């Protein structure tokens, strides 16, 4: 079995040696355990009930046994199963109904137009700060009923809390995540009290009503859900928008094609998420001993799905090692998970790109990267923190 150093600062899930390992077999060994490289095995394991989401085992593996990060992570919705998970998911699901997402589309378009005004004709633009960060932050705030004045502080906290999945890559990451959790916990506690006193027509007010009147959740569960929602609705989409721009900068003819063929928007969004997903990897933990494809997996061991690698697997996606917005692939994306834990926010992320791409391609020329792109670690939520680009007229 080949060995791949996934915690190295410059590790790339699409490097030639990684794709060569995929061609040779379905898995590889890494410093954090088994790495799944092929789509079929990845999809099967993501649905396997003999694996869970890691719980406290993931934090303990990274030296965290108590404190704010532990108190947020362990009871988080993704670490619950069965009836407990369904109870919490039912409360959050109302935020992501097709009707809710569609009602937000005019706001997404108006926000995209305003942000595009800000970068049009300005020369070099740092795209993450100017656009990729701002659009999902505005949409999340509109959905939850958060004041625009708090956007900047939310942006920093949400970005840092998303580093929870990269603890193994950098010893200083845990401190950043802890500060973000503490900041969000305090903010959300104040917000709950405010919405209890003065409810409005927004998701937080409805969730607060469920806590106070229906006793659906405890206050601690409500705070945990809202902190998780904030980072899920903002940070992952932020990374996906920035990743999408990098993909088009590397394939400018595809940008021009989309400008001329806006009917390809749906396929273009799917292809952007397949080619460079914001969740470059996801992990699971074995809750019992079992054998998979003749490979023994022991209780407590971790299995990491190389999402970006598996989503270029030509066995699942014919021609999948090329970026092609005209392609109609049938294999499902892996970055949103599978089964009962399938990501509720996937429709909201799709919608933002579906509304943003036609406006960007119509008003701006193909992007060109003009300087060093500063990337997050490969494990977990992956995307540029800094993306300098120009858009020709």
CA–CA dist 143, 179 (Å, integer): 25
Do residues 357 and 268 touch, judged by C-beta distance below 8 A? yes
- Top-ranked range on mean pLDDT: pick from 49-53, 128-132, 193-197: 128-132
Query: Which pLDDT score is estimated for 250?
Result: 98
pLDDT above 90: residue 301? yes
Query: Which pLDDT score is estimated for 257?
Result: 98
pLDDT band at 95 (very low <50, low <70, confident <90, very high): low
Query: Which pLDDT score is estimated for 169?
Result: 60
CA–CA distances in Å: residue 361 to residues 14, 130, 253, 274, 383: 26, 16, 11, 20, 21
* 169-213 pLDDT per residue, tens: 666 788 888 998 999 899 999 989 999 999 988 888 888 888 888
- Top-ranked range on mean pLDDT: pick from 31-40, 216-225, 331-340: 31-40
Torsion angles phi and psi, residue 154, rounded to 5: -65, -40
How many residues make up the chain in this entry? 393
**Secondary structure element (H or E) that encloses residue 182, with its range:** helix 173-197
Strands (DSSP E) found in 211-267: none
184 domain residue, yes or no: yes
Q: What percent of the chain has pLDDT over 70?
A: 98
91 domain residue, yes or no: yes
pLDDT above 90: residue 382? yes
**Secondary structure element (H or E) that encloses residue 284, with its range:** strand 282-286
Query: Which pLDDT score is estimated for 42?
Result: 97
Query: Which pLDDT score is estimated for 168?
Result: 64
pLDDT band at 121 (very low <50, low <70, confident <90, very high): confident
Calculate the average pLDDT of the chain.
90
Cβ-based neighbours of 174, under 8 Å, separated by 6 or more: 62, 63, 64, 69, 167
CA atoms within 13 A on the CB side of 264: 17
330 domain residue, yes or no: yes
pLDDT band at 314 (very low <50, low <70, confident <90, very high): very high
Split into its structural domains, the chain has a count of 1
Query: Which pLDDT score is estimated for 214?
Result: 78
254 domain residue, yes or no: yes
Q: From 149, 108, 152, 337, select the one nearest 241 (Cα to Cα).
A: 108
Query: Which pLDDT score is estimated for 153?
Result: 77
Query: Which pLDDT score is estimated for 364?
Result: 96
Query: Which pLDDT score is estimated for 170?
Result: 64
1 domain residue, yes or no: no
Query: Which pLDDT score is estimated for 92?
Result: 78
Residue-range definition of the domain harbouring residue 343? 16-383
5 domain residue, yes or no: no
CA–CA dist 55, 73 (Å, integer): 7
The token pair at 383 is 């995307």
365 domain residue, yes or no: yes
* 327-370 pLDDT per residue, tens: 999 999 999 887 776 777 788 999 999 999 999 999 999 999 99
Do residues 241 and 268 touch, judged by C-beta distance below 8 A? no
From first CA to last CA, the distance across the chain in angstroms is: 50
Do residues 377 and 110 touch, judged by C-beta distance below 8 A? no
pLDDT above 90: residue 100? no
* 142-157 pLDDT per residue, tens: 888 888 888 777 778 8
331 domain residue, yes or no: yes
Q: What average pLDDT does range 58-85 have in this prediction?
A: 83
Q: What is the CATH number of the domain that holds 359?
A: 1.10.630.10
Q: What average pLDDT does range 310-321 have in this prediction?
A: 97
């Amino acid at each position: 079995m080949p060995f791949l150093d996934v915690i190295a600062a410059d590790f790339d899930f699409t490097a030639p040696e990684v794709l060569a390992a995929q061609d040779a077999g379905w898995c590889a060994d890494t410093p954090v355990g088994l790495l799944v490289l092929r789509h079929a095995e990845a999809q099967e394991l993501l649905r396997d009930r003999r694996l869970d989401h890691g719980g406290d085992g993931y934090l303990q593996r990274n030296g965290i046994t108590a404190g704010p990060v532990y108190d947020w992570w362990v009871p988080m919705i993704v670490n619950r199963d069965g009836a407990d998970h369904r109870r919490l998911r039912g409360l959050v699901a109302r935020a992501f109904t097709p009707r809710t997402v569609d009602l937000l589309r005019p706001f997404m378009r108006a926000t995209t137009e305003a942000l595009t005004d800000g970068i049009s004709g300005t020369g070099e633009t740092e795209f993450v700060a100017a656009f990729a960060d701002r659009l999902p932050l505005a949409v999340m705030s509109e959905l939850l009923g958060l004041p625009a004045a708090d956007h900047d502080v939310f942006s920093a906290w949400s970005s840092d809390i998303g580093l929870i999945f990269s603890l193994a890559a950098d010893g200083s990451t845990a401190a950043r995540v802890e500060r973000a959790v503490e900041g969000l916990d305090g903010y959300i506690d104040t917000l709950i009290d405010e919405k209890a006193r003065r409810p409005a027509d927004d998701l937080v007010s409805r969730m607060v009503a469920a806590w106070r009147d229906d006793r659906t959740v405890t206050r601690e569960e409500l705070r945990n859900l809202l902190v998780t929602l904030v980072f899920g609705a903002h940070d992952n989409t932020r990374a996906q928008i920035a990743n999408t721009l990098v993909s088009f900068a590397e394939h400018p003819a595809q940008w021009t094609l989309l400008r001329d063929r806006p009917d390809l928007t749906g396929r273009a969004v799917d292809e952007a998420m397949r080619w460079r997903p914001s969740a470059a990897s996801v992990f699971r933990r074995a809750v019992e001993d079992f054998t998979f494809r003749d490979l023994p997996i022991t209780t407590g061991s971790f299995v990491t799905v190389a999402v970006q690698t598996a989503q270029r697997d030509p066995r699942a996606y014919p021609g999948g090692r090329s970026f092609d917005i005209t392609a109609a692939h049938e294999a499902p994306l892996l970055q949103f998970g599978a089964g009962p834990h399938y990501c509720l926010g996937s429709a909201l992320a799709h919608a933002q790109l579906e509304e943003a791409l036609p406006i960007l391609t119509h008003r701006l020329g193909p992007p060109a990267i003009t300087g060093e792109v500063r990337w997050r670690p490969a494990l977990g939520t992956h995307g540029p923190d800094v993306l300098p680009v120009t858009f020709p007229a």
